[in-house]
């Protein structure tokens, strides 16, 4: 158990925000396997301000196990604070500011990791959101722009001074995107320099990695992203190992199939069958990764047009 401001989190395993992946259905599945907190996909402040239906849909956390952190992005201190007020009213338990996204579409607007090149603006953004909302505000960042950069140390100090209640460090630079390795030594350094909780992130691929990051860096919690794609079981494995020292067996084939279908049915209920089937194809491919004949199954998954075809494609042994 640890806390971010006034929000208690039942364990030190957090599901990372991932655009196009961590929607409501995904978060419900992740929580059901025991992560302590989930995060929304990144949400545009302007989309919130204009009341865009799609944006509102992404920000909706009704009916989910709490806490859920809602992540927003933007570059204008006043506008992003307006967006923060909207997601607070919609029920966000924590508001996270995206200062790490490396994609050109975001960078060109001065958003995401571009903010690591403009610390005065980053300070204004954090300050104006903290002033505007009552829920805890957190900042998710990379190490900096260039390889080897340590801008995160300055940005985390700014975040703390401005009243942020935790920081998450994905210890890669913007220029690295997802290549190379996350520099866990930098997470350790950041933790040494911070009085607010530090969440370590980057390259946790197993429960053992989660334990190792906590031990090696002293961070307060770990955040798991890519390893959970089609593998929400990692949350159960990591939570059990970190909190109780228990080593859990990997899921059986039947449990994988059952979970994929539960995930699909949740997606259908939130988005309708047509959209859900299209979006769930990638998840189904991840759920069956490593199975014998996976390439052939993937072909069937990618041509499935309905819920039942998708289920048939992965060779479910029972009727669902
Ligand atoms: C497809 C994808 C989408 C992502 N979207 C977001 C996002 O919306 N907001 C964010 O802060 N990070 C995002 N990330 C970064 C992850 O949250 C995380 O920092 C990164 O993947 C490193 O952690 P990992 O090694 O556990 O995957 C995304 C990553 C991936 C692979």
Give the distance (Å) from ligand 1 centre to CA of residue 308. 30
Tell me: do 240 and 258 sit in the same domain.
no
User: How far apart, in whole angstroms, are the C-alpha atoms of residue 193 and residue 227?
Assistant: 28
Say if residue 97 is in the same domain as residue 153.
Answer: yes
Q: Under a CB-based contact definition with an 8 Å cutoff, are residues 48 and 59 in contact?
A: yes
pLDDT in tens, 187-201: 999 999 999 999 999
State yes or no: cis peptide before 67, omega within 30 of 0.
yes
Q: What is the pLDDT of residues 265-302, one digit of tens each?
A: 999 999 999 999 999 999 999 999 988 888 899 999 99
C-beta atoms surrounding 109 within 10 Å: 14
Classify residue 63 as left (phi > 0), alpha (psi -120 to 50) or beta: left
Does residue 320 lie in a domain region? no
Atom of ligand 1 nearest to the CA of 42: 8
Same domain for 67 and 136? yes
Host domain of residue 188 = 2-244
The residue out of 244, 277, 296 marking a domain boundary is 244
Q: Which of 217, 244, 271 is the last residue of a domain?
A: 244
Tell me how far apart the alpha carbons of residues 13 and 206 are, in angstroms, rounded to a whole number: 12
Over residues 203-228, the pLDDT tens digits come to: 999 999 999 999 999 999 999 999 99
- To the query of whether residue 268 is one of the catalytic residues in this protein, the response is no
| CA of 168, closest atom in ligand 1 | 19
Best CA proximity match to 39, nearest among 57, 60, 3, 14? 14
Q: Choosing from 35, 39, 101, 219, which is the catalytic residue?
A: 101
Say if pTM beats, i.e. exceeds, 0.95.
Answer: yes
**CA geometry: angle 226, 310, 300, nearest 5 deg:** 90
Q: Both 165 and 293 in a single domain?
A: no
Residues with CB under 6 Å of ligand 1 are: 16-21, 41-42, 71, 98, 100-101, 140, 170, 201-204, 224-227
For residue 260, tell me if it sits in a domain.
Answer: yes
- Beta strand 7-9 with 2-4: parallel, antiparallel or unpaired? antiparallel
Domain boundary, last residue among 244, 271, 293: 244
In a domain? residue 318: no
Of the candidates 305, 308, 309, 302, which has an alpha carbon nearest to the alpha carbon of residue 320?
308
């Amino acid at each position: 158990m640890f806390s971010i401001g006034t929000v208690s989190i039942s364990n030190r395993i957090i599901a990372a925000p991932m655009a196009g992946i961590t929607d409501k259905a995904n978060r419900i599945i992740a929580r059901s396997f025991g992560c302590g907190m989930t995060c929304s996909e990144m949400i545009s402040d302007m989309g919130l301000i204009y009341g865009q239906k799609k944006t509102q849909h992404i920000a909706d956390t009704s009916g989910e196990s709490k806490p859920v952190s809602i992540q927003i992005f933007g570059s204008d201190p006043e506008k992003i604070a307006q967006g923060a007020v909207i997601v607070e009213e919609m029920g966000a338990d924590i508001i996270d500011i995206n200062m790490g996204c490396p994609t050109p579409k975001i960078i060109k607007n001065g958003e995401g990791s571009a903010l690591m090149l403009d610390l005065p603006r980053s300070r204004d953004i954090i300050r104006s959101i903290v002033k505007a909302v009552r829920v805890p505000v957190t900042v998710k960042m990379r190490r900096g722009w260039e390889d080897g950069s340590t801008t995160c140390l300055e940005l985390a100090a700014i975040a703390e001074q401005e009243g942020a209640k935790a920081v998450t460090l994905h210890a890669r630079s913007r220029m690295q995107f997802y290549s190379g390795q996350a520099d866990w030594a930098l997470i350790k350094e950041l933790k040494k320099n911070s009085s607010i909780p530090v969440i370590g992130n980057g390259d946790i691929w197993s429960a053992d990695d989660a334990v190792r990051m906590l031990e090696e860096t002293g961070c307060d919690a770990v955040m798991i992203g890519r390893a959970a794609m089609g593998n929400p079981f990692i949350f159960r494995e990591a939570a059990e190992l970190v909190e109780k020292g228990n080593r859990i067996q990997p899921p059986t084939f039947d449990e994988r199939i059952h979970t994929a279908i539960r995930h699909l049915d949740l997606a259908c209920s939130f988005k309708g069958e047509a959209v859900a089937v299209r979006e769930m194809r990638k998840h189904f491919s991840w759920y069956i990764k490593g199975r014998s004949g996976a390439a052939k199954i993937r072909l069937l998954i990618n041509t499935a047009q309905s819920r039942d075809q998708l289920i048939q494609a992965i060779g479910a042994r029972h009727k669902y």
